[in-house]
Amino acid sequence: MSIFSPGDTIFATAIHHGREICNICSDSFTGFADLLTRIRHDNGSLTGLVTLRIRNTSQGRTDTRAFYLA
């Protein structure tokens, strides 16, 4: 099962080296790839390990993921 589906209300917080770099609330994401694209766009040339906390209020789910921005 995916973290979210198109139309779900998503709250996402991205943390890089202990600093919040992005805080997003939207219902327009169609999938996880859209969310990552938004984070990359908002943070330009930032690279390194990022922890992403995702809360889906439509499904009542919460998830934490780590990924590397390059």
Give the pLDDT confidence of 22-68 residue by residue, as tens digits.
Answer: 999 999 988 888 888 999 998 888 899 999 999 999 889 999 999 99
Quick one: pLDDT band at residue 17, thresholds 50, 70, 90?
very high
Please indicate, yes or no, if residue 2 is contained in any of the structural domains: no
Give the helix ranges, DSSP H, for the chain.
Answer: 32-43
Q: Is the pLDDT of residue 1 over 70?
A: no
Sequence letter at residue 49: L
Query: Among residues 48, 42, 45, 40, which one has the least CA distance to residue 67?
Result: 48
Please indicate, yes or no, if residue 1 is contained in any of the structural domains: no
Please say whether the beta carbons of 14 and 39 come within 8 A.
Answer: yes
Q: Is the pLDDT of residue 70 over 60?
A: yes
Domain that includes residue 15, residue range: 10-69
Q: Which residues of 11-42 are buried (b: 16+ CB within 10 A; e: fewer)?
A: ebbbbbeeeeebebeeeebeebeebbebbeee
pLDDT number for residue 6 = 84
Overall number of domains in the chain: 1
